[in-house]
Amino acid sequence: MIDIRISNCNKNYGSLRVLKDINLEIERGEFIVLLGPSGCGKSTLLHIVAGLDRLSSGAIEIGGRDVTDVEPKDRDIAMVFQSYALYPTMSVRSNMEFGLRMRGKPMAEIRPLVEDKARMLHIDHLLDRRPSQLSGGQRQRVAIGRALVRDPKVFLFDEPLSNLDAKLRASMRTEIKKLHQSLGTTAIYVTHDQLEAMTLATRMVVMKAGEIQQVGKPEEVYHRPVNLFVADFLGNPGMNFMKGRLRLEGGRVSADVGAATIPLDGYAFDTSPTDGQAVMVGLRPESVQPSTGGEPFALTLKPTLIEHTGSDNLVVLAMGSEEIVGKFPSDMLPKLGEPVAVGFDLSRLSVFDAQTERRI
Amino acid sequence: MSTSTDAMPRPARSGWLTPRRAKAILKRVVLYLLLAIVAFFFAGPLYILLSTSFKTMPEIQAGGLMFLPHEPTAQAWVTAWGEACIGITCGGLKGYFGNSMMMAVPAVLISVMIGAINGYALAKWPFPGARFVFAALVAGNFVPFQVVLAPVSVTLRTLGLFGSVEGLILIHVIYGIPITTMLFRNFFLSVPNDLIKAARIDGAGFFWIFFRIVLPLSPSVIVVALILQFTGIWNDFLFAVSFSNPSSAPMTVALNNLVNSNFGVKEYNVHMAATVIAAAPTLILYILLGRYFLRGMTAGAVKG
Ligand SMILES: Nc1ncnc2c1ncn2[C@@H]1O[C@H](COP(=O)(O)OP(=O)(O)OP(=O)(O)O)[C@@H](O)[C@H]1O
Ligand SMILES: [Mg+2]
């Protein structure tokens, strides 16, 4: 069942087009992550779903109801802000009660609800404190608690973890995931953080300059990016790109990338390839591994730089005039300048047209 | 002062008066001298005012302006408050003090309240034309009193409020709105927008957000507005003298009439006591709320 439908949504600030014809359908219970570079319109889209910003044209439906002109409070949504936005002069308890009291729920019903959710988030001992007396992680929990007690139809998160340190982030991420699994409430979650996006999303939406680039399951977007932008935006370190030309010979397709000719027999083309077509061949670093001898395609390359990340070694390899990065296990430490045999996992290849930058 | 320790000469093993220290001490001396001069400049008149108000007329006529009273008496205060002749009535200042209070308190409260709501709307609820309204209000701050005297006079007569305390309240409220609006708007700009948005999602409307979330964040700017408005309205002379009649005249007008009266001997002790009474409310307000006033001024400056 469709829970949120965003149709032909545009948002302009004067002549600045912040959102361009956004279309998105979200099923009940999905956890949608909006990902994209700074300023691409993620927050704007979220605020439009919340009703905090008005759209220039288009329509929003929530739960089968057209809410385009409905006030935020009547949309049955709750939002968690990057800045937490806790009411500074109220206690944690009052913060969590506020939304319910505004809706005229009797205090006798509010109290147990708030205490229940506070226990669930391990903030029950903080209920009488002011937000200024809490740590960042605690404030974040309160902000989530305030959204939870409302029991809304949709949760909206705008970079809720970006003010936390790496460790706390990871644990809050897990908690949000668990929360979603137990509640099953539809959620839209904005983030910069790829790891958050990959781990939390049931589907992710990659945006660029106000346009949706790709919508799909995290692994699908990661392994089958629809264009160069998405391929480049996801992954750390980023995807290797090799410039080249397609060659069609005797019914077999290969890509000549200068230093090597990569066979594309197993590649599932979306569009039919033409001979001489200028392409970018993309391969993620984890698909460039030390050869075990069994790969159908391997090259002998010279390492020019090695970075240790702890869990693995990032090895920069010279390939003709270009360089590619391979992700080697930490116990595999090649020597600089001494050629090593490198195996390529060609089932993970992505090929893009150099002109249109689209996947072919 | 907490920094005075570095000027304190401490015994050292060899010659403590190094050139550096000598320079620092000299700086201190000059600083304190300047401060003393400024303090004298302001406190001197107040001292003369107070000491004279407790003297008898013969003692004043004998000279010795700078001396403390020989036989301090509160008679001048009693006269000033309840007996002195102002114009044709001889009931002292108390009636006029009442007029001033009846005028200033409502005028201050109303202008601060309206300014707060205006400022909140301008800062947090952008509407078409908000910039124009704000520009107009800023301009409103620079309209000189003199320019509006005649139009206001006509308006008050038309409304039937000329010569009444209500008329003065009305004009002070109108005249106060631009400055209070600006003050509050600038402060409210520093209130995070996310707070307003969160409250909107929680179901609070314009006034709920104002009273439950925005106003509790603003005690310092409220105090600043209260003090500015009270001082301005209490001390106003031009509007008071233009639009009041003898029965509705506020303190400033009464004090002027008392001091400039051309009949009989000039009773300096009574004049001084009357002056102190006229200044007392603003002084007391500063003493009570001064701390918040300073805090409010700087808080706005840092956050804005
Ligand atoms: N009130 C506004 N007036 C004019 N332009 C705006 C306004 N709000 C946002 N913008 C512009 O809209 C674009 C999208 O902003 P938005 O906040 O949605 O980006 P974002 O994707 O959330 O970025 P970030 O990841 O940095 O939060 C930006 O270019 C921004 O400058
Ligand atoms: Mg944003």
Chain B contact present for A70, CB below 8 A? no
Domain membership of residue A360 (yes or no) is: no
Residues whose CB falls within 8 Å of the CB of residue A200, separated by 6 or more in sequence, listed in order: A31, A33, A173, A176, A177, A180, A189
Give contacts of A 82-101 with B, CB under 8 A.
82-83, 85-89, 98-99
Q: In which order are the strands placed within the sheet that holds A261-263?
A: A261-263, A252-256, A240-249, A278-283, A350-353
DSSP state of B125: S
Per-residue pLDDT, B1: 42
Residue of A nearest to B195 (CA): A85
Q: Do A81 and B194 touch (CB under 8 A)?
A: yes
**Which domain CATH number covers A309?**
2.40.50.140
**pLDDT at res. A310:** 85
Q: Could you read off the pLDDT of A15-70 as tens digits, one per residue?
A: 999 999 999 999 999 999 999 999 999 999 999 999 999 999 999 999 999 999 99
Say whether both A227 and A260 belong to one domain.
no
Shortest alpha-carbon distance between residue B79 and chain A (Å)? 49
Q: Which residue lies with its CA nearest to atom 8 of ligand 1?
A: A44
- Domain match, A11 and A156 both: yes
Q: Give contacts of A73 with chain B, Cβ < 8 Å.
A: 200-204
Write down which residue in A171, A201, A233 finishes a domain.
A233
Q: Are A61 and A134 part of one and the same domain?
A: yes
Domain-embedded: residue A358: no
- How confident is the model at residue B5, as a pLDDT? 47
In a domain, A75, yes or no: yes
Same domain, A64 and A179: yes
DSSP assignment letter at B284:
H
Record: contact A89-B200, CB cut-off 8 A: no
Q: Are residues A249 and A174 in the same domain?
A: no
Encode pLDDT of A220-250 as tens digits. Answer: 999 999 999 999 999 988 999 999 999 998 8
Question: A98 lies in a domain?
Answer: yes
Total domains present in chain A? 2
Examine the domain organization and report whether A246 and A228 are in the same domain.
no
Final residue of a domain: which of A233, A248, A265? Answer: A233
Q: Which residues in chain A have Cβ-Cβ distances shorter than 8 Å to B217? A: 88-89
Mutate to test the pocket of ligand 1, among A9, A17, A38, A44 (most ligand atoms within 8 A of CB): A44
Q: What is the mean pLDDT of chain A?
A: 92
Which of residues A233, A248, A281 is at a domain's end?
A233
Evaluated on CA atoms A315, A319, A322, A324, the torsion sign reads: negative
Q: Are residues A182 and A287 in the same domain?
A: no
The CATH number of whichever domain residue A80 belongs to comes to 3.40.50.300
Owner of token pair 């005075």: B4
Residue A149 is assigned to a structural domain of this protein = yes
Structural domain contains residue A157: yes
Q: Do B201 and A47 touch (CB under 8 A)?
A: no
Query: Of B254, B244, B247, B261, which Cα lies nearest the Cα of B275?
Result: B254
Residue A341 domain-assigned (yes or no) = yes
Give the pLDDT score at B301: 41
* ipTM confidence: 0.85
> Is residue A150 located within the same domain as residue A13?
yes
- Tell which of B201, B209, B217, B218 to mutate to test the A interface (max A CBs under 10 Å): B201
Check residue A250 and give its pLDDT: 84
The pLDDT score that the predictor gives to residue B273 is 94
Instruction: Judge if A18 and A119 occupy the same domain.
Output: yes
* A300/A182 same-domain check: no
Q: CB-CB: which of A52, A82, A102 is closest to B202?
A: A102
**Does any domain span residue A359?**
no
Does residue A227 sit in the same domain as residue A245?
Answer: no
Residue in chain B closest to A151 (alpha carbons) equals: B202
What average pLDDT score do residues A261-272 get?
90
Which parts of chain B have pLDDT scores under 50?
1-5, 12, 299-304
Same-domain check for residues A72 and A218:
yes
Domain encompassing residue A194 = 2-233
CA of B206 to nearest chain A CA: how many angstroms apart? 12
Q: Which structural domains are found in chain B, ordered by start?
A: 4-53 (no CATH), 94-300 (1.10.3720.10)
